């Protein structure tokens, strides 16, 4: 695996070695010792799979207490994946990083605890897979408005399909519940 740092502290792009032949492909999607060597030392305790249609936007989510680190990837289809620094007091507070994750190059992204995470589906259908370093705690879940003008995420589409809950998320500047840096 190749590990590439991003503009946000601890957010790492993971480029796996994909072995392709006439039968198909093979890749390792998780190797604890290699993650540990680049500083990803949390234990992963929950594995999630989301299936979504084109233009579904999920996020921007984080957990205030019991923050989750996430190792995210796409098994089929493609998404534009976004990480937002929502840690109050961080030098990159309110900054974001985005990239396409798809089933072509099989890149993965590590999102450390304390960051907000979101994605929009670019293909007709997508299977999005992610492992979490903490269990889901619904009472701790928080959200930030997907199109917050102060964050300025450059989404590839404004024609989005949101959950009712995500439609109600406040902007970052109006948020009262943010993790401390």
Active-site annotation holds for 61: yes
Structure tokens, 141: 């879940």
83, 115 contact by CB (below 8 A):
yes
101, 107 contact by CB (below 8 A):
yes
Q: Which of 61, 110, 117, 119 is catalytic?
A: 61
Look at residue 72 and give its three-state secondary structure.
strand
Which secondary-structure segment (H or E) carries 51? strand 46-53
**Residue found by looking up tokens 């589409």 in the block:** 157
Q: Which of 36, 130, 135, 136 is catalytic?
A: 130
Active-site annotation holds for 97: no
- Residues catalogued as catalytic: 61, 130
């Amino acid at each position: 695996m190749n590990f590439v740092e991003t503009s946000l502290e601890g957010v790492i792009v993971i480029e796996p070695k994909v072995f392709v032949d006439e039968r198909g492909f093979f890749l390792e999607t998780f190797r604890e010792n290699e993650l540990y060597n680049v500083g990803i030392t949390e234990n992963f305790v929950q594995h999630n799979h989301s299936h979504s249609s084109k233009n579904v936007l999920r996020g921007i989510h984080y957990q205030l207490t019991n923050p989750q680190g996430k190792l995210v990837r796409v098994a089929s289809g493609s998404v534009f994946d976004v990480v937002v620094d929502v840690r109050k007091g961080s030098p990159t507070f309110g900054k974001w990083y985005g990239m396409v994750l798809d089933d072509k190059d099989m890149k993965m992204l590590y999102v450390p605890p304390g960051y907000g995470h979101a994605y929009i589906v670019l293909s007709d259908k997508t299977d999005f897979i992610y492992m979490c370093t903490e269990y889901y705690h619904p009472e701790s879940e928080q959200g930030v408005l997907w199109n917050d003008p102060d964050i300025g995420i450059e989404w590839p589409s404004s024609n989005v399909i949101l959950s009712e809950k995500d439609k109600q998320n406040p902007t970052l500047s109006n948020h009262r519940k943010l993790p401390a840096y």
